Amino acid sequence: EIVLTQSPATLSLSPGERATLSCRASQSIDSYLAWYQHKPGQAPRLLIYGASNRATGIPARFSGSGSGTDFTLTISSLEPEDFGVYYCQKRSSWPPLFTFGPGTKVDIK
Amino acid sequence: QVQLVESGGGVVQPGTSLRLSCAASGFTFSSYAMHWVRQAPGKGLEWVAVISYHGSYTYYGDSVKGRFTISRDNSKNTLYLQMNSLGVEDTAVYFCAKDGVIPTVTNLLGYFFDSWGQGTLVTVSS
């Protein structure tokens, strides 16, 4: 079973700063990784799929990189509305089971 | 635009059953696999189940296998989750989510979720 770990658990930054979130897989998952933003009381929002492809309508300040076991979500310049919990997620090849990482909470100072 | 609206949540006692529904609009429902994902209070996201676009294939997370059944009615653009033998550990907000990939002959399921509903709360308590 491939496990996803995320670091740091919490990130407290000021608007305008750069945020770097890490997701590590226990085995290679090629580029089949997605990132989501989740705010309390709201639906989760897809940010990145295929490790580096921005989803429709996602601002350019969000970018994803990595392949194999190490992945990064970067927010180039934090906006106040970027608070929330960010999850990485992957799918196993067979059987097709889906797994989320534990999440990184981003607080805006 | 894509709209997913969950319903059917509520407060139930341990050992009982509940059926959730997810009404879909804004896309060709019958062309996409669909998922249920849940979030227990204070916890992260947990994938629950997936159903292929035609309903022939279903897969479940280990924590719900044998108790929950995912189904769909493409004529009604509706996804369902039948939950039996509910336990306190099933208390969560349940989201339905649309698969992000158009299925092909060789790959019926994608690997991410591109649209989500707002969720419905299920509380299991005596």
pLDDT higher at A96 or B98: B98
Q: What is the DSSP secondary-structure string of A44-102?
A: -EEEEETTTEEPTT--TTEEEEEETTEEEEEESS--GGG-EEEEEEEE-SSS--EEE--
Chain B residue with CA closest to A93: the answer is B111
| Residues of chain A neighbouring B97 (CB-CB closer than 8 A) | 44
Rounded to 10 degrees, what is the CA torsion of B64, A9, B41, A44? -80
Q: At B89, which amino acid appears?
A: E
pLDDT, tens only, A82-96: 999 999 999 988 888
pLDDT at A52 over 90: yes
pLDDT at A31 over 90: no
Mean pLDDT (whole number) for B20-24 = 98
Whether A38 contacts A47, CB under 8 Å: no
Please tell me the distance in Å from A62's CA to the nearest CA on chain B: 16
Beta strands in B8-112, from DSSP E residues, in sequence order = 10-12, 18-25, 34-39, 45-51, 58-60, 68-73, 78-83, 92-99
Mean pLDDT (whole number) for A10-37 = 95
Mean pLDDT of chain B: 96
Whether B47 contacts A100, CB under 8 Å: yes
In which band, very low, low, confident or very high, does the pLDDT at B118 lie, cut at 50, 70 and 90? very high
- Cα separation of B121 and A18, whole Å? 35
pLDDT at B110 over 90: no
Per-residue pLDDT, A107: 95
Residue A88 structure tokens = 């990485």
Per-residue pLDDT, A93: 85
Mean pLDDT (whole number) for A50-73 = 96
| Residues of chain B neighbouring A38 (CB-CB closer than 8 A) | 45
Q: Which of A32, A43, A103 sits opposite B95 (nearest CB)?
A: A43
In which band, very low, low, confident or very high, does the pLDDT at B109 lie, cut at 50, 70 and 90? confident
pLDDT higher at A21 or A29: A21
Mean pLDDT (whole number) for B73-97 = 98
Mean pLDDT of chain A: 95
Most B CBs within 10 A among A98, A99, A104, A105, hence the mutation to make, goes to A98
Chain A residue with CA closest to B52: the answer is A96
In which band, very low, low, confident or very high, does the pLDDT at A108 lie, cut at 50, 70 and 90? confident
Mean pLDDT (whole number) for B86-98 = 98
Q: Which of A89, A102, A103 sits opposite B112 (nearest CB)?
A: A89
Per-residue pLDDT, A30: 84
Q: How many CB pairs under 8 A join A and B?
A: 67
pLDDT at A109 over 90: no
| Residues of chain B neighbouring A99 (CB-CB closer than 8 A) | 47
Handedness of CA A65, A12, A4, B122 (dihedral sign): negative
Mean pLDDT (whole number) for B12-27 = 98
Per-residue pLDDT, B107: 81
Residue B24 structure tokens = 């879909």
Chain B residue with CA closest to A41: the answer is B118
